[in-house]
A and B are shown apart, each in its own frame.
Chain A
Amino acid sequence: MGEMKLLLMKKGAEASLYLTHWHGREVVIKKRLPKKYRPPQLDERIRIYRTIHEPQLMNEAKKAGVPTPTIFLVDVNEASIIMEFIEGIQVKKLLSETTKNKREDICKKIGELIGNLHERGIIHGDLTTSNMILNNEGKIYFVDFGLGEKTMELEARGVDLHLMKRALQSTHFRFTEECFNAVIEGYSTVLGAKNTKDVLEKVREIERRGRYIAERREEIT
């Protein structure tokens, strides 16, 4: 990578994204830099694990019909991934600025895409609207599969949707409910009413397990 001109696009918590040219293409290099705060052994384990798993899951997602950037090169030793640059706008930025109808359409589509992932046993692991990009052709790309896993377990699906809901609550608190309902609507068109009901029950169980919801009955003083 010696001669390449790297432009730091985003310095996230986990990785830095650089925009550059590579064999005549515009690409993104995602590099997981060592974290000084954790012991080197643990740090390496986490970075290598995520660098290997992320491209695998992105590839799987593509097969499931969910747009993801194409992977060009994985360098495990450097903990870096070279992938396609998706030109578009983060759904996070878009959601609060658009109309109610558009918002519902986008969220429904997001729900379908999550459904596609789950149907194939892919858990994204970090479903937030900043990890979704709407490109110029109107396709929604999912990125950042670093915390994902492959499993058909209901629990994992529940947590995935719970995280989506939580992300809506913290970032799009004005429209949390309408957005989440639309996501579920889209989800159920892929996975059907029965599966959707089961996973929603799981979401409620997860909420009750933590300290997420107020008791439904009023407390007796």
Chain B
Amino acid sequence: MRKKLADTVYCLGIESTADDFSVGVATLDGKILANVISAYIPEEGGIHPREAARHHAEKASQVLEEALKKAKIKAEDLSVTAFSQGPGLGPCLRTGATVARAIAHYLKIPLIGVNHCVAHIEIGKLKTGAKDPVTLYVSGGNTIVAAFDSGRYRVFGETLDIALGNCLDVFAREAGLRQKAGMPFGAVVEKLAAEGKRLVPLPYTVKGMDTSFSGLLTTAVNLLKSKAYRLEDLCYSLQETAFSMVTEITERAIAHTEKREVLLTGGVAANKRLQSMIKAIAEEHDAKLCVVPSEFAVDNGAMIAWTGILAYKHNVFTPIDKSFVKLRWRLEEVEVPWVK
């Protein structure tokens, strides 16, 4: 049994930017007591924002209850509640925000709107021990290379169009592949790619520190439909090309910032091939590679809870009437007074 100390601060974190609804609980000293994730898997096609939001609304109380149970606390023990305020899909964000506002209002505790991308970096730092890394955040919705400078995480490189994970997902769907719980599209493509032998030339697009994946995706899908290539070879070529692109821009950011750590996070971070590429450049620049454990690399409530704790310590709160969701809230718009 945990003893409730007067000075114990528990922060609830609600994550609902895209297809996952998740609730986490974090303490002041950086313990993650719960991280319950409920994934919405569409029958077919991509994420329909309204359908995903419906999933979130249906699962919210169950996930919340499970998280509190795991953390061995009661709702009344919470000192603060945080939610991901953006960026993300409108209907999904609003569902999480509504739950968070209700809890804050009912328990009369402060509310904190957290930037989803900041949260990915913060939980990554907490879980890997990285202090001041160049972060490569690659998921279904984001492809960002960021590093801290003067009060904020600055975006050094990013995608000009679709996200890396989205590129892989759409290709997998076009190829008629299926994903299931524990085996998302990215893992399916990775498995097939391991059987690939032949590198098919695909567009390699790096513009400055930015990348673009739409031309790569279109070409790969067209080649797939031409039936002239083995699916394994196309998966292999798609991965090699796309990963080389993000690795190149990450290396440029390391060379530019001269930081000594690389943090790899987001759903695509689980890919072993990507990890080995980033490891190679990290070694070349004498930087330490920190790969965020899968549970905390995908969208999760714990990262929101932990970032909520950091904000709480610095008295950064979000009044309910200012808690509207921000669909395109950029990483570099957010002050992070808790860093240095």
What residues make up the interface of A, taking CB atoms closer than 8 Å to B?
11-14, 35-39, 41-42, 45-46, 125-128, 130, 147, 159, 163, 166-167, 169-170, 173, 206, 209-215, 218-221
A128 surroundings in chain B (CB, below 8 A): 208-209
Establish whether residues A210 and B160, one from each chain, have CB atoms under 8 Å apart when the complex forms. Answer: yes
Query: What are 18 residue pairs bridging A and B, where the CB atoms are less than 8 Å apart in the complex?
Result: A12-B252, A13-B281, A37-B247, A37-B281, A42-B204, A126-B207, A159-B160, A163-B208, A163-B209, A170-B156, A173-B150, A210-B159, A210-B160, A211-B328, A212-B328, A213-B330, A219-B327, A220-B324
Q: Which of A13, A35, A159, A220 contacts B207 (CB 8 A)?
A: A159
Q: Which of B90, B155, B204, B277 contacts A219 (CB 8 A)?
A: B90
Q: Encode contact with A along B315-326: 1 for CB under 8 Å, 0 otherwise.
A: 000000001111
What residues make up the interface of B, taking CB atoms closer than 8 Å to A?
87, 90, 94, 97, 142, 149-150, 154-156, 158-161, 199, 201, 204, 206-210, 240-241, 244, 247-248, 251-252, 254-256, 276-278, 280-281, 284, 323-330, 332-333
Establish whether residues B159 and A214, one from each chain, have CB atoms under 8 Å apart when the complex forms. Answer: no
Output the nearest chain B residue to A126 by Cβ-Cβ distance.
Answer: B208
Q: Give the CA-CA distance A38 to B87 in the complex, in Å.
A: 32
Output the nearest chain B residue to A49 by Cβ-Cβ distance.
Answer: B204
Q: Is the interface of A mostly helix, strand, loop or mixed?
A: loop
A-B pairs, top 3 by smallest CB distance, nearest first, are A163-B208, A13-B251, A37-B280
B94 surroundings in chain A (CB, below 8 A): 221
Q: Give the CA-CA distance A211 to B159 in the complex, in Å.
A: 9
Establish whether residues A214 and B333, one from each chain, have CB atoms under 8 Å apart when the complex forms. Answer: yes
**Known contacts A38-B244, A38-B247; A214/B326 CB under 8 A:** yes
A41 surroundings in chain B (CB, below 8 A): 199
B254 surroundings in chain A (CB, below 8 A): 13
Known: A35-B244, A45-B201, A219-B324. 13 other contacts (CB 8 A): A37-B244, A37-B277, A38-B277, A42-B199, A126-B208, A163-B207, A166-B155, A169-B154, A170-B155, A173-B149, A210-B161, A214-B330, A219-B90
Output the nearest chain B residue to A92 by Cβ-Cβ distance.
Answer: B256
Establish whether residues A215 and B244, one from each chain, have CB atoms under 8 Å apart when the complex forms. Answer: no
Min Cβ gap B49→A in Å is: 14
B150 surroundings in chain A (CB, below 8 A): 173
Q: Which of B154, B158, B277, B324 contacts A221 (CB 8 A)?
A: B324
